[in-house]
């Protein structure tokens, strides 16, 4: 089983293509729905009384273990935001932490031996708290966000030191290491201690750097899946993480070959997420549809020797 | 022989890494230096009296035919500009057209049967003028820039209708077709009549779309060559064009396979150009060094089936 700690939310989202109010969201949700296509996922998180059995049952129906979801008095975390025409940047109208304000992760006993752990972009102090409670995961993947880089830089660096794979988007990477150059930022992540860093560049794809211990010191340049229409980018990064981790867990191997495949698999998952509001597409997408896009990316990037 | 019509200039360039005054530049120069590594190139352009024999002899020494370069009374075209830290955008301090103001391309008789023609980003009316004077080129490649899209949209569209391969950077493509989506913009270019369109995205690589007549209706997603330091991006686009056209001319074939290789070869040429001010690196780079980077890109982008 893969374990994720992250937010469970009701989101209100506006993009140039429409508006949705109080739809299911949060990093742990996008991650789990993406990952559960290949593997069972356990969520560690907190919800309020408005997160009814209907939602919990929905997650259960999706190969997701809900034992780690604590339901407490109060309202579920709520994010209200919008995207403008270019959609690369989320603008927050308001964030209501609600029950998330006093969240301290409690880990069910049977989660503690999990080999694959994802620390979504929550407070880095909580990420560290979770990490300390796990026995010996085979692979820890962590994400963060600008907010934490600005507020708790030291703790973000500690997470990077202790994680195997660090996910960052390009803006975060540049901000974290005060350089416009992605390669330099990536090297800094590896020098801190992470074995792998993946810089996500939205519609421009992603670039992965690995330490030589993984068997390669080459970058892997991954395309994005080309789409004519992006309806709602919310959750793309978490879906990417879910695809990535579930692919590695399924393959059971962590080497340059499996990591590269996992990045492409992750890219495809993210490409489905952004085609509709919230996790609508993640709910529907089949492994076969994912495979079709994976194969297209193989074909779209192929070129011969000279 | 490949023929290019474009600007020949003395540039004053400032980037975060330094400043150079009155160095050799212009679209035709970058193009020719890049292309002449594989093929002989003839330049159609105009210079002033300050463009001394020393410069002309330098070009001659580089496998470049100068019969089409007209030297007239006055000063050579001068561009003065700078780049800020992120270097994606050139800022113009001043443009002195000088002898370029009254430029009307005259084509040497032995250029008119050339099979490969590049229309660099000059006034689209001049591009059309040149096109009308050629017998029947096998391949016409054209470039443009925001300035002409804003001033002479109709003429830019006419160039697109009459060219085989249109090069645009992503900002230009979005502006030309008033869409944030690159795929939609690319389709519009193909619908106008171009057989191939290549959208250049700077550090994010390039994406090529071809009409089915070429044998494929798939996009080709090309990486950029990852660099830790970009010193001066001036001329990257023209070097790309020079690499692209010279590769196709050398191979003699225009199909999906050769086009994809040409895009990667072009990408590598551009990656050398930006490593130093002006055409310093283009002057030095060898075919073997180009091949090394080409092979690295093969390796950096490879991933397996699932």
> Which residues from chain A sit within 8 angstroms of residue B266, using beta carbons?
none
How many domains does chain B contain in total?
1
Would residue B305 count as lying in a domain? no
Residue B281 has pLDDT above 90, yes or no: yes
Q: In terms of CA atoms, which chain B residue is nearest residue A300?
A: B220
B306: in domain = no
Q: Residue B43 is inside which H or E element, if any?
A: strand B41-47
Instruction: Name the pairing type of β-strands A9-15 and A18-25.
Output: antiparallel
CB nearest to A228's CB, from B184, B226, B296: B184
- The CATH number given to whatever domain includes residue A63 is 3.40.1190.20
What's the rounded Cα separation, in Å, for the pair B300 and B267? 14
| H/E element, B47 | strand B41-47
Assign A293 to helix, strand or coil: helix
Average pLDDT over residues B263-283: 97
Lookup result for tokens 């193909």: B190
Asked if residue A220 belongs to a domain, the reply is yes
**Beta-carbon contacts of residue B214 (< 8 Å; ≥ 6 apart):** B195, B196, B254, B255, B256, B259
Alpha-carbon distance of B3 to A266, in angstroms, equals 45
- Burial track B146-176 (b if 16+ CB lie within 10 A, e otherwise): eebbeebeebbbbbbebbbbbbbbbbbbbbb
Residue A76 domain-assigned?
Answer: yes
Residue B163 near residue B141, CB atoms below 8 Å: yes
Q: Give the pair of three-digit tokens for residue A93.
A: 């109208």
Of A204, A218, A303, the CB nearest to B264: A303
Predicted complex ipTM: 0.94
Give SS3 for B70.
strand
- Nearest-angstrom CA–CA distance, B206 and B220: 8
Contact between B228 and A184 using a beta-carbon 8 Å cutoff: yes
Element (H, E) at B177: helix B170-177
CA B69 to CA B60: how far, in whole Å?
A: 11
Question: Is A180's CB within 8 Å of B295's CB?
Answer: no
Residue A123 lies in a domain: yes
Least CB-CB distance to A181: which of B229, B298, B305? B229
Range of the domain at A239: 2-300
What mean pLDDT comes out for the span B92-100? 94
Contacts of A223 in chain B (CB under 8 A): 221, 223
Quote the pLDDT of residue B214: 64
| Cβ atoms < 10 Å from Cβ of A72 | 14
3-state DSSP call for residue B3?
A: strand
Disruptive mutation site among B223, B266, B295 for chain A (greatest number of A CBs within 10 Å): B223
R_g of chain B, CA atoms, integer Å: 18
Confirm whether A263 is domain-assigned. Answer: yes
Task: Choose the mutation target among A183, A226, A265 for the interface with B, i.e. most B CBs under 10 Å.
Answer: A226
Question: Cα separation of B20 and A42, whole Å?
Answer: 59
CB-CB neighbors (< 8 A) of A261 in chain B:
303-304, 306
H helical segments located in B63-167: 124-133, 146-151, 153-162
Q: Is the pLDDT of residue B80 over 70?
A: yes
- Contact at CB, B221 and A204, closer than 8 angstroms: no
Interchain proximity A298–B295, CB inside 8 Å: no
pTM listed for this prediction: 0.95
Q: Which of A85-99, A181-195, B193-207, B236-250 has the lowest mean pLDDT?
A: A85-99
Q: Calculate what percentage of chain B has a pLDDT beyond 90.
A: 92
Query: Most confidently modeled of B174-183, B206-215, B267-276?
Result: B267-276
Enumerate residues 6+ apart whose C-beta is below 8 A from B282: B30, B33, B34, B235, B239, B269, B272, B273
Q: Name B52's Cβ contacts closer than 8 Å, sequence gap at least 6.
A: none
**What stretches of chain A adopt beta strand conformation (E)?**
2-5, 9-15, 18-25, 41-47, 64-65, 69-71, 77-83, 90-96, 116-119, 139-142, 165-169, 196-200, 206-210, 220-222
pLDDT of B215 over the 90 cut: no
Asked if residue B287 belongs to a domain, the reply is: yes
The C-alpha of B53 sits at a distance from chain A's nearest C-alpha, in angstroms, of 37
CB proximity under 8 Å: B 201-230 to A: 201, 203-205, 207, 218-224, 226-230
The distance of A206 to chain B (nearest Cα, Å) reads 10
Q: 3-state DSSP call for residue A157?
A: helix
- Non-local (6+) Cβ contacts of A134 within 8 A are A3, A107, A112, A114, A117, A140
Between helix A236-251 and helix A27-35 the angle, nearest 10°, is: 40
Which residue matches tokens 């560290």? A128
Coil, helix or strand at residue B14: strand
How far is CA A215 from its chain centroid?
25
Per-residue pLDDT of chain A (306 residues; tens, 9 = 90+): 999 999 999 999 999 999 999 999 999 999 999 999 999 999 999 999 999 999 999 999 999 999 999 999 999 999 999 998 777 788 999 999 999 999 999 999 999 989 999 999 999 999 999 999 998 899 999 999 989 999 999 999 999 999 999 999 999 999 999 998 999 999 999 999 999 999 999 999 999 999 876 666 799 999 999 999 999 999 999 999 999 999 999 999 999 999 999 999 999 999 999 999 999 999 999 999 999 999 999 999 999 999
Under 8 Å CB pairs connecting chains A and B tally to 98
The reply to whether residue A291 touches residue B306, judged by beta carbons under 8 angstroms, is: yes
Secondary structure element (H or E) that encloses residue A196, with its range? strand A196-200
Average of pLDDT values for B150-156?
95
The answer to whether position B180 is within a domain reads yes
CB A263 within 8 A of CB A209: no
pLDDT value at B211 more than 90 = no
Distance, in Å, from the CA atom of A51 to the CA atom of A243, rounded to the nearest integer, reads 25
| Residues facing A199 on adjacent strands | A168, A207
Query: Cα A176 from chain centroid?
Result: 18
Average predicted confidence (pLDDT) for chain B: 95
Would you say B87 and A179 are in contact if contact means Cβ atoms under 8 Å apart? no
């Amino acid at each position: 089983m893969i374990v994720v700690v992250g937010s469970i939310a009701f989101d209100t989202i506006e993009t140039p293509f429409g508006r949705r109010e109080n739809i299911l969201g949060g990093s742990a949700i996008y991650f789990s729905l993406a990952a559960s296509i290949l593997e069972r996922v356990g969520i560690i998180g907190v919800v309020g009384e408005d997160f009814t059995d209907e939602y919990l049952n929905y997650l259960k129906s999706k190969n997701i273990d809900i034992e780690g979801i604590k339901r407490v008095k109060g309202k579920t975390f709520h994010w209200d935001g919008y995207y403008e025409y270019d959609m690369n940047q989320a603008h927050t109208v308001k964030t209501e932490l609600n029950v998330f304000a006093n969240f301290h992760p409690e880990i069910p006993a049977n989660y503690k031996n999990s080999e694959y752990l994802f620390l979504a972009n929550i407070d880095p102090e909580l990420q560290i708290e979770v990490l300390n409670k796990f026995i010996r995961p085979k692979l820890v993947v962590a994400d963060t966000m600008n907010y934490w880089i600005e507020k708790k830089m030291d703790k973000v660096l500690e997470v990077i030191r202790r994680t195997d794979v660090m996910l960052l988007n390009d803006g975060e990477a540049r901000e974290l290491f005060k350089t416009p150059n992605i390669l330099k930022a990536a090297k800094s992540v590896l020098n801190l201690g992470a074995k792998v860093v993946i810089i996500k560049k939205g519609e421009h794809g992603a670039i992965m750097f690995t330490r030589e211990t993984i068997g390669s010191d080459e970058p892997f340049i991954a395309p994005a899946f080309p789409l004519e229409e992006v309806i709602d980018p919310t959750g793309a990064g978490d879906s990417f993480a879910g695809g990535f981790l579930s692919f590695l867990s399924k393959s059971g191997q962590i080497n340059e070959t499996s990591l590269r495949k996992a990045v492409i698999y992750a890219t495809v998952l993210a490409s489905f997420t952004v085609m509709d509001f919230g996790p609508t597409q993640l709910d529907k997408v089949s492994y076969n549809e994912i495979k079709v896009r994976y194969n297209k990316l193989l074909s779209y990037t192929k070129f011969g020797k000279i």
